[in-house]
Amino acid sequence: DAGVTQSPTHLIKTRGQQVTLRCSPISGHKSVSWYQQVLGQGPQFIFQYYEKEERGRGNFPDRFSARQFPNYSSELNVNALLLGDSALYLCASSPMGPTNEKLFFGSGTQLSVL
């Protein structure tokens, strides 16, 4: 079975640009979460979506937004990119509700902002 897939795997943008990252959850999983991981740190929670509704949001500015589609895939959008947005962006899915204990992570999208 396919795991969580994220695209693209790598991306280079310049300051001020906008970026869209995509995530396909494991088949049958209805919950998707997004995390940001800066080099040398643990992942930091950005958003969670369950059944196409936002269920949680971390301490990130409004430049970050996300949505979940009817097929449960998800997009993370970041506007007005800053150098500090350079990070590994991880998507995770889980089979049940928002508090399900097991998250299955993808390998991430490495975003570099120049």
Partner 1 sequence: DAKTTQPTSMDCAEGRAANLPCNHSTISGNEYVYWYRQIHSQGPQYIIHGLKNNETNEMASLIITEDRKSSTLILPHATLRDTAVYYCIVRGSGAGSYQLTFGKGTKLSVIP
41 touches partner 1 by CB under 8 A: yes
Pick out residues in 44-63 that bind partner 1 (CB under 8 A): 44-45, 48, 50, 55-56, 58
Piece of the chain touching partner 1 by CB under 8 A; list 14-22, 43-51, 67-75, 76-84: 43-51
Whether 74 and 67 have beta carbons less than 8 Å apart is answered as yes
Binding to partner 1 (CB under 8 A): which residues in 4-33? 4, 33
CA torsion through residues 31, 1, 102, 88, sign: negative
The answer to whether 37 and 88 have CB atoms below 8 angstroms apart is: yes
Please give the residues from 79 up to 98 whose contact with partner 1 meets the rule CB under 8 A.
90, 92, 98
